[in-house]
Structure 1
Amino acid sequence: MSVKEHTDPQTKLLGVIGRDSGVDRARSDAAGNVYRLTARIAIETDGAGSGRFRFRLQCFKTDAATEQTKANTCNFHFATGSNAYWCNSQVPDHTTTPPAVCAGRHLDDGTGSDVLWVGTVWRSMAHQLELASVRGFSATFNAGAGPAGVAHWIATENAIVNLANQQAENAYAEWSSNCNYYSSPRPGAVCAAWCAMFATWVWDIAGVPAIDSSVRETYAARKLGLYGRDVWGTWHRTAPKRGDWVIWGEPRISIGGHNDIVVDVRSDGSLDVVGGNVSGKVTKRHVFPGSTTTNGQPLSGYVSPPG
C-alpha cells in the first residue's frame, strides 16, 4: 500500500511496523464508493534528539476501484463499538472485555499519544496487539498469534537489553501452568516450558535478522546454544556481552537447562540476566558464571546476536 506518511515538524518518521490490520472490504462512503479501511503503526522520534520513540496509530482509506489511498480517521465499526483498550499492565487475555487496569478510548481520538498496550476487538474475535514501550524503545507484536512486524532498524544490543528489562519490570507471568504469550509464531498460546520462547521472542522483536520461524519454534533451551555454535558461529565460552543469550547446560537438542539474556556485565565478572519462566514469570537475576547453577546446570557459554 502506497501512502503519504504522517509528517510533523516536531517528529521524524523512522518506519512502519506491523501488517495492515482490520481490513474492511465491503464499506461504502456517502457517494456509494466502495473502499477498504486499514490501520498500522508508525514509529516516530520526538524530534528533540532525546532518543525516545513513540507509536502513532495511522488509518488509511483505499478506493476499491482506483486503489488510491489517503489518510482517514480510524472509524472501524466493531460490533461492540469503535473502541480500543489502552493499558499499562500485562497483556489481557483473549476476551472482548478489557481488564480493569485498561481505559476504553476511541481509536480515532486523534491524539497521537504515546501508548503502552492496545487491544482491539475485530468482529467476533479478540485481537490483542501489544505495544511494548521500553524507555524510549518501542516494539509491537501480535500477542498469542506471532509477531506482526519487526523493527530491524533498532537491531542493537540496547534494543535487546531495554526490551528484556521492560518485560522484567512489567513482571509478566504465565496465566496457567506454562501458558504464555511468548510462544508465537504458533497460533494461540503454547503451554510449555518457555525460557527459550522468551529468549527468541526478545531477539525477534528487537530486530535480530536471523530469528526466523524455525528458531522461534525451538523450545529446548540448550538447543539455542547449537544455533550459536553450529549455525551462526557466535557461540563463546567467555567474555559475555549485553544482549547475549546465556546457555545453562551444554548445547544439545535434549530438553533441560535454561536460557537468559545478559542485560549487564559487572566489573567483578558477575552478570545481571533476564529470563522467562523463572518461578513462572519474567525475572531479573544476579548470577556468577563460575558458581551459579540453574535447573541443576552450570553456565556453559553465550550466544551473541548474528549479523
Structure 2
Amino acid sequence: MSWKHVLESFDLLDSPVANGEAVKNLWQNHGADDVFVETVAGHAGATDFVRVLIPGTRGRSAGGTAPTLGIIGRLGGLGARPEKIGFVSDGDGALTVVAAAAKLLEMASRGDQLEGDVIVSTHIDPDAPTQPHDPVPFMGSSIDMSINNKYEVTPDMDAIISVDTTKGNRICNHRGFAITPTIKEGWILRVAEPLLDIAEQTSGMAPVVLPITMQDITPYGNDVYHMNSIVQPCTATTAPVVGLAITTVSAVPGSATGATDLGSVESAVRFVIETAKDFGRDKLAFFDDEDYAQLTTRYGSMSRLQHLDQTLAAATTPA
C-alpha cells in the first residue's frame, strides 16, 4: 500500500509555499540521488519543474538494457491562489506521481529495486490561473504546453503514463481512475490488455476506459476543443503514451477545492507502481508492434497530428 506516501505528499503540496525544492527534499528523504529542479517563468507566473530518476537493476543508468518508464504528472496548478484557498482538483496528477516516486524510492532503499529505470516528472505551482471551459471551469497554467513537454518528456522514456485529473466532463462517469487507449505518433491504438489487467488488480473493479478523440491528441494552441491535457505528452515523443485519469461520477471543476479523493489517488499510485514493475521486466507492452507496423504500412504516418499546422507553426515561431 502507498497511503503513507500519498498522505505525506498531499500534506506537502497542499500549501501556498509548495515548491520544487520541497519535493526534492521529500524524494531525497526516501533515497533519491538524481533529482532535477528548475523554476521556469511563463506568461502568467512561474512554476517549478521537478524530475527524478529511480534506477533499476538492469536499467540504462546501470549499463543495462531494461526499458525505461516515464511517469508524468499533468496539471495546470496545485492551487488557484488567491482566487481559491487550498489544493485544487487539478493537482491530483502531480500528487499521484510525487507519491508514486516516493514509494518506488523507498522500495528500492529496502531492497525491492525494479529492473528498469523509472523517470518521474511534473511541475509544482500553488498559485496558477483559472480559465473558462465547458462543462466546468479549468485550471489554467503559468506556462505554455510546449514548455511542459520540454521539461517533462525526455528521450529516455520508452513508454509514458501521463496522470491527470479528468473530472470536468460528462463522458467518463466513474469514481476512481480510468485509462486511455495507447497513443503513438498520431495513432490512437487499441487499449493495452496488460494495463486493463493491472487496472482490475489495483482497483478491484472492472477496468474503465476514458474515451480519447483525435482532437485530444493534437497540440494545444490549434484552436480546437481538448477534453484536457492528459495525453499532450504524445505530441512530443515517439514513445507510446497512455493517460491515467483520476475520475468522478459528476463533473467537478479543475479549480474546485476539497475535491481530491485520496482513495482514488492511492489506487492510481498502485496502478503506476505495478505497471513499472512489469514494464521494466519486459512483461508488459503498451502496444502491439505488428499491428502498428501493419497500420503504418497500409495507411502511412500520422505524425503530422503531433504538430501545429504550417500556418499556426509560423505564427508561433519567434522572429
Larger relative contact order, structure 1 or 2 (CA cutoff 8 Å, min sep 6): 2
TM-score tier, shorter chain, comes to: under 0.3
Structure in which a larger fraction of residues adopt strand? 1
Structure in which a larger fraction of residues adopt helix? 2
